[in-house]
Chains A and B, each alone.
Chain A
Amino acid sequence: MAQTLTGRVWREQPQRYRMIANKDTETGEIYFPPRLVAPGNLDATFEEVQLSGSGKVVTFTIIRVAPTPYADLAPYALAVVETEDGVRLTCQLTDLDVDDVKIGMPVQFEFRKLYDDNEASVIYYGYKAVQV
């Protein structure tokens, strides 16, 4: 796997670490990850909002043959989670038996190690979801 660009991950820290999203000040639409322009409105202005710490599983898949950085985690569930703010995002589910994952299951987000490129690389952190 290619080396992760440390600078890119550093720029994404607010969204990865604290789930900071952008809210269109006119329409109230929340974008996550944050956008620089709104669809169809190049002049939109935004304010930062922190997403709710919980949500529910909209859909999921079980990864049994994982890409290299996640190989030790297999089998794991990758889910689309809808937060209480109505934002949908993709994340891993952790600390559960994959056979217990259900659509509609309430979850909350926890800070976890996402991956590293190798034992000498920077460690990348962010959010995963755990069962409530």
Chain B
Amino acid sequence: MSVGIVGWGCKLPRNRIKLETIAEVWGADAPSYKKGLLLYEKSVPGPDEDVITLSVIAARRALMRAGIDPEKIGALYIGSESHPYAVKPSGTTVAEAIGAGHDTHCADFEFACKAGSQAMYVAHSLVKAGEMDYAVGIGADTSQGAPGDALEYSASAGAAAFIMGKDKVVATVDFTHSWMSDTPDFWRREYEHYPQHAGRFTGEPAFFRTTMGCANALLEKSGMKPEDFDYCVFHQPNGKFPQRAAKMLGFDVTGDGFKTGWLTPWLGNTYSGASPIGLSAILDVAKPGDKIFMVSYGSGAGSDGFIFTVTDEITALQDKAPHTRPQLDEDKHYLSYGQYAKFRHKILRNS
């Protein structure tokens, strides 16, 4: 029995802010940020968008592709760093809005930027274990970055939803692996608005050690080599990190195999949505037989790895819902820093 993705969907906000617009406010050197981090602009959620609304739209698009009765969904998990409530699940609202039944296991996940991939991981595992026919894993964020902090140039918004099942699978999950260690590179304490990070420490001992640990174990487990894959996608806190990780592993970063799921330079870092949205962009254009290598990363720190094989079922479903890349490239609405600050509640007001 093959278990894997039976439907996928993505939602990106329309609003954008350019890196120069942020840099101008803080007196930062935009060209050096662009060159150093490979970041050009990022998405910004509208005042009426949050993790719940983005997740509902992404999940509905996944249902449009899967064509299943939402009542058959047995579990729904959302991974995010920006659940609208501290106490009250995002998942129940999303499940209710997409018409999932009440007999559903629902939970909100948190593990910095890998919360979305772990939602996918658990959803896949439950279907594989035979506990249910369908389970939904969603990665979504309206990411936080403190004004003036390096994170402000990247923290963005978006969601991707994946329905796992065993009938009419569009991408089988062939291998998975998870790797973690107690590495405090990025965190946010209770009641704090913005995360803290350990500067350069977030690179080598955190992102790269963890990503490589998971990726190498996944390659060893599968007996496959980078050249066996048609596409790869990694967590992308900026444009540079995933490019370097892919190169270190031996993937070619010059072609569509890497670039299709590499969205951060124009999307920003969608935190829990980052590698899932990259995977969504790949599934939009993948062909039957394609092999996809995916490794997420979440600070704290851990990575989830997946190897997918695309099936013949995918072709008929790709155009049944909006693709990811056009949402990134078309109908963009650029904000001033003032509008951005208002939308992100960065302006202190009497209330």
User: Knowing A13-B96, A18-B97 touch, does A119 contact B48 (C-beta < 8 A)?
Assistant: no
The answer, yes or no, to whether B181 is at the interface (CB within 8 Å) is: no
The answer, yes or no, to whether B113 is at the interface (CB within 8 Å) is: no
Q: Name B52's contact: one of A72, A95, A110, A125 (CB within 8 Å).
A: A125
User: Knowing A111-B57, A112-B53, A113-B53 touch, does A72 contact B97 (C-beta < 8 A)?
Assistant: no
Shortest CB-to-CB span from A3 to chain B, Å, is 15
Q: Name A95's contact: one of B46, B60, B85, B93 (CB within 8 Å).
A: B46
Query: Residues of B contacting A125 with CB < 8 Å?
Result: 52-53, 56, 93, 97
How far, in angstroms, from A111 to B58 measured CA to CA in the complex? 10
User: Knowing A95-B14, A125-B97 touch, does A113 contact B351 (C-beta < 8 A)?
Assistant: no
How far, in angstroms, from A18 to B53 measured CA to CA in the complex? 13
Is A73 touching B57 in the complex (CB atoms < 8 A)? Answer: no
Shortest CB-to-CB span from B82 to chain A, Å, is 13
Interface residues on A, range: 10 to 19
Is A112 touching B351 in the complex (CB atoms < 8 A)? Answer: no
The residue in chain B whose Cβ has the minimal distance to the Cβ of A131 is B331
Is B97 touching A17 in the complex (CB atoms < 8 A)? Answer: yes
The answer, yes or no, to whether B49 is at the interface (CB within 8 Å) is: yes
Interface 0/1 of A105-132, CB less than 8 Å to B: 0000011111000110001010010000
Contacting B at CB under 8 A, from A74-132, are 94-95, 110-114, 118-119, 123, 125, 128
Interface 0/1 of B31-57, CB less than 8 Å to A: 000000000000000111110110011
The answer, yes or no, to whether B342 is at the interface (CB within 8 Å) is: yes
Is B48 touching A112 in the complex (CB atoms < 8 A)? Answer: yes
User: Knowing A111-B53, A111-B56, A112-B48 touch, does A123 contact B84 (C-beta < 8 A)?
Assistant: yes
The answer, yes or no, to whether B99 is at the interface (CB within 8 Å) is: yes
Query: Residues of A contacting B53 with CB < 8 Å?
Result: 110-113, 125
Query: Residues of B contacting A94 with CB < 8 Å?
Result: 46, 48
Query: Residues of B contacting A17 with CB < 8 Å?
Result: 93, 96-97
Query: Residues of A contacting B57 with CB < 8 Å?
Result: 110-111
- B-side residues, CB < 8 A to A, are 14, 46-50, 52-53, 56-57, 60, 84-85, 93, 96-97, 99, 333, 342, 351
- A-side residues, CB < 8 A to B, are 13, 17-18, 72-73, 94-95, 110-114, 118-119, 123, 125, 128
A-B contact pairs, 9 of them (CB 8 A): A18-B97, A73-B47, A111-B56, A113-B47, A113-B48, A118-B351, A119-B351, A123-B50, A128-B48
Q: Kindly list the 5 A-B residue pairs having the minimum CB-CB distance in the complex, ordered from nearest.
A: A111-B56, A17-B97, A112-B48, A113-B48, A95-B14
